[in-house]
Amino acid sequence: MTQQKRPITLITGASAGIGAALAHEFAAHGHELVLVARRERVLGALADAIAAKGAPRPTVLGADLARLDAAQTIAAALDERGLEPDVVVNNAGFGLVGAAEALDRAEQVAMVDLNVRALTDLSLAFLDSLKRRRGGLLNVASIAAFMPGPGMAVYYASKAYVLSFSEALHRELKPKGVRVTVLCPGPVPTEFQARAGMSDGAFPRLLTRSAEQVARDGYRGLMQGRRVVIPGAVNWAVTAMIRFAPRSLVSSEAAGSLCPLSNARLHGEGAPSILKTDSSGY
């Protein structure tokens, strides 16, 4: 029975932004897709757009990944349809701007449920089929993963987890023929900023990439078996600087200048540094 299942690429958070761009990118390279998010109708429209380009119409699954049973529900839905992943893309995630003590506690915990717990569960749930099919896992973190983020504390910490977890899996699963790549974008204009409570404004142009550029880099990185992909030379340089800077510096000055929005919001100040802007998001 297992042998007869059709391989698919499972993409979470495909109803908007980077996830939708990843869906187009994987479809353009011939992958059959299963798309997951809460807004099923939006996913349906995306599936139609992909089918209109001549690719197989993706399967659409409406699911709230913050629910404890989400991975189990998705696995059952795939099984019912005779499908199994050879690639899993954990992209769904959100952030919140504000001091941790001021933000709603339940919402911050829900961020951990989605960005951390669901991503972990879905990474592990399909390991058998990923190994059998010598497939891949693409987890979406952020350049936020490389530093603490005062003003977005839980979000930055959640992405640090994604980076650490994915790098470890990369090492563990490489000998088993499974590629694991963690994609760490800088700011990308999507629905993310409004959901996080960021005001409209200019992005630091040096760091900003479109969702399509990020999806292209992520796809290529996964196919090349790269461990970490940081789209954009300036983003790469920023994270390299952070990695080699003393942690005490990164936690204070550097964090402030590299996280201008959160710092400004936290302290009611203008953004310092070369990355000065009034709206940003990692």
Binding span for ligand NAP by CB under 6 A among 52-60, 71-79, 186-194, 265-273? 186-194
Binding of residue 182 to ligand NAP (CB under 6 A): no
Q: Which of 59, 142, 239, 279 touches ligand NAP by CB under 6 A?
A: 142
Compute the least distance from the CB of residue 21 to ligand NAP, in Å.
8
Is 155 among the residues known to form the active site? yes
Which of 102, 103, 193, 184 is CA-nearest to residue 145?
184
Q: Name residues contacting ligand NAP, limited to 191-230 (CB under 6 A).
A: 191-192, 195
- Residue pointed to by tokens 């991975």: 71
Compute the least distance from the CB of residue 248 to ligand NAP, in Å.
25
Q: Output the CA angle 3-43-229, nearest 5 degrees.
A: 75
Binding of residue 94 to ligand NAP (CB under 6 A): yes
Compute the least distance from the CB of residue 35 to ligand NAP, in Å.
9
Q: Which of 8, 10, 11, 17 touches ligand NAP by CB under 6 A?
A: 17
Binding of residue 277 to ligand NAP (CB under 6 A): no
DSSP run (H or E) holding 137: strand 136-140
> Bridge-partner residues for 9, per DSSP?
33, 87
Interaction pattern, residues 112-141, with ligand NAP; x per rule: CB under 6 A: --x-------------------------x-
The torsion defined by the Cα of 203, 208, 212 and 213, in degrees rounded to 10, comes to 170
Interaction pattern, residues 50-89, with ligand NAP; x per rule: CB under 6 A: --------------xxx-----------------------
| In contact, 275 and 257? CB cutoff 8 Å | yes
| In contact, 160 and 282? CB cutoff 8 Å | no
- Residue pointed to by tokens 């990944």: 65
Instruction: Using only the alpha carbons of the chain, give its radius of gyration.
Output: 18
| In contact, 28 and 51? CB cutoff 8 Å | no
Compute the least distance from the CB of residue 87 to ligand NAP, in Å.
17
Q: Output the CA angle 226-230-234, nearest 5 degrees.
A: 140
Q: Measured from the CB atom, is 176 or 237 closer to ligand NAP?
A: 237
| In 69-152, alpha helices (H) | 70-80, 105-112, 119-125, 127-132
Q: Which of 188, 228, 242, 266 touches ligand NAP by CB under 6 A?
A: 188
- Cβ neighbours of residue 45 under 8 Å, at least 6 residues apart? none
Q: Measured from the CB atom, is 57 or 195 closer to ligand NAP?
A: 195
The residues annotated as belonging to the active site are: 155
Applying CB under 6 A, which residues contact ligand NAP?
Answer: 13-19, 37-39, 42, 64-66, 91-95, 114, 140, 142, 185, 187-188, 190-192, 195, 281-282
